[in-house]
Amino acid sequence: MAGFRRLSRRGFLLGACAAAVGGPAAYGQGHAMRRIAPNRASDSFNPDVELELICKCDVKSILTGRPTRVWRYVGNLIRGPQNALTELPETYLGPLLRFAAGQKVRIRLRNELPEATITHWHGLHVPMLMDGHPITAIDPGETYVYEFEIRNRAGMHFYHPHTHEATATQVYHGLAGAIIIEDEEERALGLPSGEFEIPLVIQDRSFDDDNQLAYAGDMHTSMFGFYGDRVLVNGRCNFALDVASRPYRLRILNGSNARIYKLCWDDRTPLTVIGVDGGLLEQPETRPYVMLAPAERVDLLVDFSGRRQGSKLTMLSGEFYGLIPPMAQRMMGSELGMGAEFPLFTAKVTKASSDTWKLPAKLSTIKRFRNEQIANLDDPIPIAITMAGMAMLLNGRPYDHDDIQPRERIPVDTAQLIEIFSERGDTGMAHMGMMGGHMMCRGMSGMRMMRSRMGGMGMGMGGGMMGMMSMAHPIHLHGQQFEIVERSFDGDENAYDSIRYGFIDSGLKDTVLVAPGECVRIVKPFSDFKGRFMYHCHNLEHEDAGMMREFSVE
């Protein structure tokens, strides 16, 4: 079994600049996507920052020996502060973009790839036509002009393609980058900055014998997502940081297609978490480990003070269970199994420092919605996740741009309660749920009711399918950040114990990991902009296979 993946890997290799076809998109819904004409610069928009981002084919040295053909973002600053665009050293990743709250930003995206693409600013609150919606995709040779104002508070975000059925392959070949937003509230804290603030983008990749990126476009990948056999941090293998014995701010983004990490230090020093997707927490939290699913971010304050020169600390992904079916885990082999322990990067103390900066007890204030401000307190909008064979569905339906369902229409400037959970059982269950018109978990009692209708967990056909197919899904909603108000669980407690202390639910989020057996309630505002905003699984293979829908904000 261990050799299954290697044998079945159909050696999808990227030609010098060939189109990235042949990935799991082949298993997707195959719907044609209508397009609109590329947006142009408007004379009435006066940008504080203007830059050009070119999507192009390139080569980069990643492993020793032959360089690797990649696709990447190359940036040029046209106007604005110098720090708006900085290159990370020796990487295929796009430049780090740094904006300030309130700035007006113009980005000219030019497509020099052999296929259509479009870029999404994951985490930013922007209008639909600035959001990288697949209908705005541009063909080779075209330019799309984005113009938007930074409405977010301080935080770290993620830009990546959002091309219809080609997001996974385009990200995989290198199109990804980080965005940092700064604001006054955060600046006043005097957090470690400059060389002491380090963005770290974690991804996993596989290479063939010729050092080229290998992507298995097989059924296993399409169902469970892509899992590489090497970890890259900021596009580099065996990533090591040289640090001084003082506090650092490590801003970590999981840029992987599907892999979930359990961040922990090898000497079990607890992690001090100061922020997540949507920016700073109200106060720091100390955790033994942090779970980080695709697209999630975590902001860590790491104090190396008192550590000897020459000492090392390694960030691991620790052991965990229950986020992927055991069968799928076995097929992945042992090199870098999901849930196995392996190193991510190392910090080496190479300099002494006498900096004695102390982390403040209070970091920020998060405005939370009161019950009276929630439009649908008694009637949450469901996001039911279904995986049934090749069918990847939300609320029983695959992605389609013109298929808005009644519960997907949302009045602008409202805050909505949303309930996210995995459907138990097979497709039969999904239909049963839909026909009843009550697809929601309604606390745990609802879950139990659904289960007993299926003949009990682990019994009968439904139960059997459930065990085989249930996996965790990182669910992402475009637009404004949301609050996680409740997480309930009904399932394998032993497995859950290996992950449950790693969820940071106290901050604002745009992506939430929903484990099998969990029901997660969130409150999300839909302010300022009408239009279509996507919500989807950020396991990119699932997204491309149809596990995506849209809200129509009206």
Q: Does 424 bind Cu ion (CB under 5 A)?
A: no
Q: Which two tokens stand for residue 294?
A: 């695709």
Judged by beta carbon distances under 5 to 8 A according to partner kind, the member of Cu ion, ligand C2O, none in contact with residue 98 is none
Determine the residue type at 333: G
| Binding status of residue 245 toward Cu ion by CB under 5 A | no
When asked if residue 407 is in the footprint of Cu ion (CB under 5 A), the reply is no
Q: Does residue 524 touch Cu ion according to CB under 5 A?
A: no
Residue 174, classed as helix, strand or coil, is coil
Residues 469-508 vs Cu ion: string with x where CB under 5 A? ----x----x------------------------------
Residue 164 as a binder of ligand C2O (CB under 6 A): the answer is: no
Piece of 38-46, 156-164, 391-399, 497-505 that binds ligand C2O (CB under 6 A)? 156-164
- Closer Cβ to Cu ion, 264 or 537, answer by number: 537
Alpha carbon separation from 80 to 86, 158, 336, 378 (Å, rounded)? 13, 20, 43, 47
Give the three-class secondary structure for 173: coil
Cβ-contact 300, 249 below 8 angstroms: yes
Q: What are phi and psi of 181, to 5 degrees?
A: -105, 135
| Shortest Cβ 240–ligand C2O spacing (Å) | 28
Q: How far is the CB of 288 from ligand C2O (least distance, A)?
A: 28
User: Quick check: 122 binds ligand C2O (CB under 6 A)?
Assistant: yes
The yes or no reply on residue 157 touching Cu ion (CB under 5 A) is no
Helix %, strand %, coil % of the chain (to 5): 15, 40, 45
- What is the spatial order of strands in the sheet that 240-244 belongs to? 240-244, 342-351, 312-317, 261-265, 290-292
Q: Binding ligand C2O by CB under 6 A: which of 49, 93, 295, 447?
A: 295
The alpha carbon dihedral of 406, 412, 416, 419 has a sign of positive
User: How many residues in the chain?
Assistant: 554
Binding to ligand C2O in span 489-548, by CB under 6 A: 534, 536, 538
Residue 19 to residue 11: CA distance in whole angstroms: 15
- The span from the CA of 513 to the CA of 333, in Å, is 24
| Interface with ligand C2O, residue 478, by CB under 6 A | yes
CB of 155 to ligand C2O, least distance (A): 14
Q: Which pair of tokens denotes residue 112? A: 């020099």
Euclidean distance between CA atoms 71 and 445, whole angstroms: 48
Position of minimal CB gap to ligand C2O: 122
Nearer to ligand C2O, 478 or 549 (CB): 478
Residue count, binding to ligand C2O (CB under 6 A): 11
Which C-beta is closer to ligand C2O: that of 420 or that of 457? 420
For binding to Cu ion (CB under 5 A), which residues are involved? 122, 473, 478, 537, 539, 542
